[in-house]
Chain A
Amino acid sequence: MSKSKIIKVLSMTIVVIALIWTLYPLMWIVFSSFKTPIDQFTIPPKWIPENFTLRNYKIFFSNTEFVRAFFNSIIVTAFSTILALILGIPAAYGLARFKWKHASLLSFIILLARMTPPIVMVLPFFLISRILNISGTYIPIILASSFFSVPFAVWMMQGFFSEIPESIEEAAMIDGCTRFESLRKIVLPLVLPGISATSILCALVSWNEFLFALILTGQETRTLPVLVNMFVSEKNVDWGVMSAAALITVIPMIIFGLLVQNNLVKGLTAGSGK
């Protein structure tokens, strides 16, 4: 029995190390966001702020550029997520139920779209939006964000739809439902947890997206990651304000992400359940 005890102690040790490893940089940012500039620049660095202050958060929220970027991030995320759901859910349903020989080719293209590096897409997006004279508006950045979330939504929802037995729908259709009615009244309520997980993961991807936003947004449409970049690359970084900005950027997504963590694996490895 001592052997299982060894395993237990070993496991707990690994878990504790993993926790410290995860929290070490995070807690540093949290503490720094409450530090005054003087505490920020003490050498050697101190963890706990001597004078706890909300200055950094005040600066963030009184800076119109930050607030604007926050607002832009919400717009881009909301629109691209809605687009992903509107396009993705019916397509996923079709693909899950299709017995069509080109369905697999279509699935391949959708998966490839999800796997393509952003750098490959950002140049044509940039040039095409110049040609169409829409650069700097919300349109290219929303479309570019959807470029990832639409294929992602299709792929993820397909897994959820495949799990619903077709016999349920057949029964409903025998009772006189059309296919659309059976989808709306029977299937959709059953995959609701999947829809919520999908939308949150799509939102996560759009909210965190950087390269598209860096190239495709203008001064008016900058999102939070772009602004974080701008301030980090400055010569004199105000580490306190940046820490506050970083936390404000990540907290909404951490909360959302933790809400769907049980469905996360499914979305990330989606398609394997077929």
Chain B
Amino acid sequence: MQFKNKDVGYVLPTLIFIISIFLIPIVYTIVISFFNWNLLRPDLGIRFVGLQNYTKAFRDSFTWETMGRTFYFVIVSVLLEIIFGFMIALSLNTEFKGWKVVQSIILIPFMIAPVVVGFVWKFVLNNDYGPLPQLLMNIGFGFIAENPLLANPNSAMFMVILADVWEYTPFVTLVLLAGLKALPQEPYEAAYVDGASAIQRFFYITLPLLRPSIMVAIVIRTLTSLRVFDTIFIMTGGGPGSATETLSFYGYRTAFQSYQMGYSSAINLISFFLAIVFTLIYMKILGWDNNE
């Protein structure tokens, strides 16, 4: 069934929308990144500086620190989410009474606005009025909460990761659970006849067959946690010091606290470049490009 030329009309409005709301702003950002433009100093005007913003960004050790923190955040949180998500998905995959209700409850954090997740954890971790430091004290781990958890540079990043794990483990669980439910039964029957143990069945059948679902979960979570902002903004504001300042946060701060439009654009384009790379990986994994 071939599309005729006039049927381009189905796609055209969206095409125009995407061009005007995505490509034009991106091109605009690229242009700004070659200029020195400070909104607070209109007297300086907008000066063309070539690649200066980029050389500045790459020479500044702070940029690399925020990038390092971003990757640390992404790697630790995605790793924990995959491990926990997998464990929960496997447990939910064994039929028991009321699993649907359990699944619905476990899903809830995923529906909650990241800003609210930030507030919830800020409250729960609050050293005076929150229940978690108190709980740690009661079970003999009080030394962990001796310093306020969010105000301590050594623990703040891990607390932010904790909130992220709380919010997005349900997503991983859901993807893996759907993958588990779609697994073919034949290999298991054959393995059963051959007398394979549960552990063997898991490592030789479940894990390889589930690989595509695992990869999808990893890539999507990597892409979405690279842009982490809301939760950190509320919980720590990037602090204490700059202990939880990620790449997105640095881009935000340079634009909306020190008003350096050009420099911020250069930093944001690094984030954009990372998004392109991971989007290509994502498409590769989905086998999307051999679709012609």
Contacts and interface: CB of A to CB of B under 8 A. Distances in A.
Most interface-central of B8, B23, B272, B276 (chain A CB within 10 A): B272
B57 interface: no
Most interface-central of A21, A99, A119, A261 (chain B CB within 10 A): A119
A117 B227 contact: yes
A202 to B, nearest CB: 14
Interface string B32-52: 100000000000000000000
Given A25-B120, A99-B3, A104-B291, A265 B14 contact: no
Contact of A229 (B9, B17, B91, B115): B115
A113 interface: yes
Contacts of A44: 134
Interface string B98-135: 01001111111111111110111111100011110010
Contacts of A116: 22, 272, 275
Interface in A71-130: 87-88, 90-91, 93-95, 97-101, 104, 106-113, 115-128
A127 B33 CA distance: 13
A154 interface: yes
B238 interface: no
Interface residues of B, number: 99
A49 interface: no
A190 interface: no
B114 A210 contact: yes
A1 interface: no
Contact of A243 (B123, B223, B291): B123
Contacts, number: 285
B226 interface: yes
B229 A118 contact: yes
B172 to A, nearest CB: 10
B15 to A, nearest CB: 7
A117 B3 contact: no
A7 B198 contact: yes
A206 to B, nearest CB: 11
B10 A94 contact: yes
Interface string B76-109: 0000000010011011101010010011111111
B115 A208 contact: yes
A-B complex: 7 closest residue pairs judged by Cβ atoms: A94-B10, A117-B227, A124-B25, A91-B14, A257-B111, A208-B113, A11-B91
11 contacts: A15-B92, A18-B91, A94-B10, A94-B11, A109-B22, A120-B268, A123-B255, A208-B112, A211-B229, A254-B112, A265-B175
Interface of A: 3-4, 7-8, 10-12, 14-15, 18-19, 21-26, 28-29, 32, 40-41, 43-45, 47, 87-88, 90-91, 93-95, 97-101, 104, 106-113, 115-128, 143, 146-147, 150-151, 154, 166, 169-170, 179, 204, 207-208, 210-211, 215, 224-225, 228-229, 232-233, 239, 242-243, 246, 249-250, 253-254, 256-258, 261, 264-265, 268-269, 271-272, 274
Given A146-B21, A246-B116, 19 more contacts: A11-B92, A15-B91, A26-B120, A45-B134, A87-B17, A94-B8, A106-B15, A109-B18, A110-B18, A115-B282, A116-B22, A119-B248, A120-B269, A127-B32, A210-B230, A232-B118, A242-B123, A257-B111, A264-B107
